Homo-oligomer: A and B are copies of this chain.
Amino acid sequence: MPDLLEYLDAAAARFEEELCELLRIPSVSADSTRRDDMHRAARWLHGQLQSLGLAAEVVETAGPPLVYAESAPVPGAPTVLVYGHYDVQPADPLEAWLTPPFEPTRRDGNVFARGATDDKGQLLTHVKSVEAWLAARGPLPLQIKFLIEGEEEIGSENLERYLVDHQERLDCDVVVISDTSQFGDGYPAITFGLRGIAYFELRLTGPNQDLHSGVFGGAVVNPVNALTQILSQLIDTSGRIQVPGFYDDVVPLSERERAEFAGLPFDEAALRAQLDVEHLAGEVGYSTLERRWARPTFDIHGIWGGYQGEGGKTVLPCRAGAKFSFRLVPNQDPHRVAAALRPFLTSLCPPGARMELVEMHGAPGVLVALDSPFMTAAATAVERGFGRHPVFIREGGSIPIVTRFKQVLGVDTLLLGWGLEDDHAHGPNEKFSLADFHRGIRASAWLWEELSKIRT
């Protein structure tokens, strides 16, 4: 496709500028004060897709809007649904960013901004490959549908509803998502497995007001003490989760899987250096890749209670809380986890404290078949875009919608990640390699080419 590749070269600088435009919009879905920015981001994407001649629409929902667009059907060729999300994680802690999260900055071949890799930069590769195809080669060789949401980081509640209500419109042969990572720099990857998640908020209340810890300490439940006691009992020191029945549905790793993971060029020392930790940690009896990709975990995402300011306040706080989640492996059900967790927490809650457990969001894990023609086409496209055959990996994160696409639309998802593991998704100084941005666009263009060869 020399004509198309030439177009991409000529448009490279403009594509980067357009990515920065999108990154400047602080579309933080968890922040209810950002509603206008959610709409701005949706309208920006809508404008892009409409200008390509696609039938594009901003779909209002009870939350941030969806953006939907589609090209014309191509008889005999497959229909592909490209999914992405324009919402981003909160940017705090702000003081840890070298440059402001919503002022995209180019440094060392990367663009630094919240959402650079997750998912604005990766999502945009598919928009730009379509633009290039249409400009350089004419009509698309297959039907492409875009479905872009603004609630991925907070549970996709409204997308879920839209998906169920618009199955005909979203009908397709395969879904494509670029919201994952390469295995490492120079190791493009296709992700065939994801962990699920069950996310909770636990709130504890003790006395009806903050008390003087001298006057009342030792005679009344301290909710912060209680919270540490409860949370510490959810996992043991060997990294085993203690919720009764938690491992019942966990399928053990096969010897073949363990051998394949062990064969990947994973550099544990480099990871330690990257994170600046003397030791990695985790469940006893499993390798680091196994722990990250294929074993359940328990992580507290946030904890609060009492006095967090300067100096020493001798208060006995009246409430405390925490947000935490379990990462689940395929075959575990987040609803079963929640059902087992609630009575377990209740049993751990000391008399004199009151407990409230909020089920925030959940999704089961997923495994995609490796032997389909779609997967073969994707591998070829990635190899052409990145110059190297992809490795097949699993990833520890969750993309709940992948499960729902399977359940509702009956199709598999190709997880083609252009990011890198040290892109700091969800952390300060999130970045995306501009070289990978352009490689991703090329791979995406090749993907349309390869997928269009599949006869349906």
Could you list which residues of chain A lie within 8 angstroms of chain B, going by C-beta atoms?
29-32, 89-90, 92-93, 96, 118, 153-155, 181, 195, 197, 199, 201, 206-222, 224-225, 227-229, 231-233, 235, 237, 239, 271, 275-283, 288, 291-292, 295-318, 320, 322-323, 325, 327, 350-352, 360-361, 395-398, 421, 424-429
Contact = CB atoms under 8 A, between A and B. Distances in A.
B316 A278 contact: no
A326 B254 CA distance: 50
B352 A215 contact: no
Contacts of A288: 219
A295 B296 CA distance: 42
A301 B306 contact: yes
A119 to B, nearest CB: 12
A277 B206 contact: yes
A280 B315 contact: no
A347 to B, nearest CB: 12
A313 B280 contact: no
B279 A396 contact: no
A237 B181 CA distance: 44
Nearest to A327: B217
Given A228-B231, A303-B306, A305-B300, A220 B313 contact: no
25 contacts: A30-B309, A30-B313, A31-B309, A90-B309, A96-B209, A118-B212, A155-B312, A199-B312, A201-B312, A206-B277, A207-B277, A213-B325, A216-B275, A218-B296, A218-B396, A219-B280, A220-B281, A224-B302, A224-B303, A225-B298, A227-B303, A229-B232, A301-B313, A303-B306, A303-B308
A228 B315 contact: no
Contacts of A231: 225, 228, 232
A6 to B, nearest CB: 36
A268 to B, nearest CB: 9
